[in-house]
Each structure stands twice: as C-alpha cells, then as structure tokens.
Amino acid sequence: MGNRFICMTKKGANENGSRSKRMGRSQRKMISEEEFLHRQALSMALHQHQLSQRFEGSMSRRIGSTSFRRRNLPDDPLSNEKQAPDFLQKIKTKKFILIHGEGFGAWCWYKNIALLEESGLFPTAFDLTGSGIDLTDTNSVATLAGYSKPLIDYLQSLPEDEKVILVGHSSGGACISYALERFPQKISKAIFLCATMVSNGQRPFDVFAEELGSAEHFIKESKFLIYGNGKDKPPTGFMFEKEQMKGLYFNQSPAKDVALAMVSMRPIPLGPIMEKLSLTPENYGSGRRFYIQTLDDRALSPDVQEKLVRENPPEGVFKIKGSDHSPFLSKPQSLHKILIEIAQIP
C-alpha cells in the first residue's frame, strides 16, 4: 500500500535547513537532500496556509436531464457552530480518498486535507506507485493496474458495507475510472477534478492531445521523454522542464506552493497513461460521476474539459473561476466548497 499523507506540525516550520536542531547527523544521512527540501517546503506552506485561511467564491452548475440550475452554499458553511451538526448530517459518506495526477503526490492535497478535517470529514491521500515519496522506480511502472495499486489495495481492504468518495485529479481520473470498474459497490461518488474522464477504449493521454499532440507523435518527437531501459528501448516516462511545468500546471498558484511543487514533482510513468481502459456499463456505468472544471487551465483547457463532459456525461458539473490545473493550490477554498456540495447531494 502506498504512503499516506503525513502533515508536519507548526513547530516543524521553524526548522532551518541543514543546521536544524531536531535533525542529527545520522538522520540527515538517511534522508536525501531532495526529500528534506520537500518536507521543509511543505511544512512552511502548511504553516502559511493555517495563518491565512479564507473562503473564496465559486461557481457551480448541476446537470439535470433537461435543464441547468445553480447551487450555492453560504460563504462559510462552518462559520456558525449551530450549523455544523445539520451540515454533517446531510453527508452520508464522510470518507474522501484523494488521488493525485501525473507527477504529483499526496503532498499536493495538503490544503484541502486541512479544510476537510476541519469540516468533520475524513480525507486520505495516497502516493500512487512511483509518486510522491513512494520509493518505486518510476521507470518500472508500466501499467495502470500497477500505478493504481495503492488505491486498489485500500478499496479491497474496505468492509463490504463501507463506501468512500473518490476524487481524482488530472490523469488520476483514469485511476478512479479503473477503481469504479473494479469496485463500483464501494464508491459512493467519483469526482473528476480537471481530470481524464475517458470513455471505454480510450487512453488517458488522448485527453491531452490538444496540448501535447498525438501519442504517436509525442513518443517519437518529445524532448521530455525518459528512457529508463536505454535509448534502444521504448521510453518509460517523461518530465517537463520546470518553466514549462509552471506554465502548464501552476499559472495561478501562489509562489510558495509553486516552490513546493518544484521540489516535489516526480517523473511521469508513460505506460499507465498510454493504456486503453476497458470500462463496462454494468460497473463503471453504474457509478455516480461528477466533474469539476477549472476555467484558467493551460494543461487541460476548458474547451477540452467541456468536450469530455459532453461525450461522457456525468451526473453533475461544477466550475471554478480563476483556477489553473492545480485548484488544490490556486483555489483550495472554492474546491472545498464544491466537494462539500457534492457530498451533500442525496
């Protein structure tokens, strides 16, 4: 099973580089410089978030059979203590499983983990195989099943009468689609966050074709490819340069969160996103799907997201204004409000 997200305390934010009093020489030897920088940046970002929380506006629309209608929550549904019990009573499934997208890890959800916990809910974020601080070599992750193993192991371990809400970001949408096909009875709702909500027989990579070109062209021409098994063998992964990552994923995110991402992003295994999904009406088709669109997204444009919704209609569609491809960093409060709203839908 993958590594679960671990929050660092406020006290950890005061640690100071290689001279930290709490980290002795022997401990430093056990932790790579990159992992230490990641933990330090995450601690500082979490501390900053705790000091400056406020709710932002969000816009959403619910798709019905023939018409659209707006659904809005109060600016702060938890501001009045008397509202909290009623608020929670409307949510039948209180466990949220947060699945990151390509290159990301459980770390990216830190703001929404805090917000969900403060709401009385139970979020869990996993590092998928070869992601975050999972030690698996990314070059060895060749299938969607292998990539999704931490999620699948968790769902297998759930009691038969227990359900969860899945939230999948970007290519993590393929993982929750795969999970829906495997365990439809254990998933109350599946929320696709600017994600690859593919149809049967489609590859997750195909969703990004507008930005990256066709899969065949990308494999032949891309300068971002990684050949983990040698140049004479097919590529095993890819990773964008930092400036390109900033432009694609973080064009509206705070500078401190972008800094955190730059020391935390991992290479993207190529096999899982090139794999065609096999999805059936009986399993995947029986699940309750919702889609959250991000309207200032440069990795998965609003037009592409609209096309995904049109070709594979979910039960409901919601929108976040001013969000880049990383709404958990750029618009966490707006994202939180929508997650709560979806959770309350009977």
Q: Which residues are catalytic?
A: 170, 297, 325
**Both tokens of residue 35?**
């992992």
Q: Say if CB 164 and CB 263 are below 8 A apart.
A: no
Which helix or strand (DSSP H or E) is residue 125 part of? strand 122-126
| DSSP-assigned letter for residue 4 | B
What whole-number distance in Å separates Cα of residue 138 and Cα of residue 238?
10
Kindly give the pairing relationship between strand 59-63 and strand 316-320. antiparallel
What whole-number distance in Å separates Cα of residue 302 and Cα of residue 311?
14
On the 0-12 / 13-18 / 19+ scale of CB atoms within 10 A, 157 is exposed
What whole-number distance in Å separates Cα of residue 27 and Cα of residue 32?
10
- The number of angstroms, rounded, from the C-alpha of 117 to the middle of its chain's C-alpha atoms is 17
Helices 332-344, 110-118: inter-axial angle, 10-degree rounding: 50
Residue (of 193, 183, 179) closest to 277 by Cα position: 179
Those residues with Cβ within 8 angstroms of residue 131's Cβ, 6 or more apart along the chain or in another chain:
2, 100, 103, 104, 105, 138, 266
Q: Say if CB 107 and CB 49 are below 8 A apart.
A: no
Q: Say if CB 284 and CB 177 are below 8 A apart.
A: yes
What whole-number distance in Å separates Cα of residue 70 and Cα of residue 233?
52
What whole-number distance in Å separates Cα of residue 72 and Cα of residue 129?
37
Q: Say if CB 292 and CB 319 are below 8 A apart.
A: yes
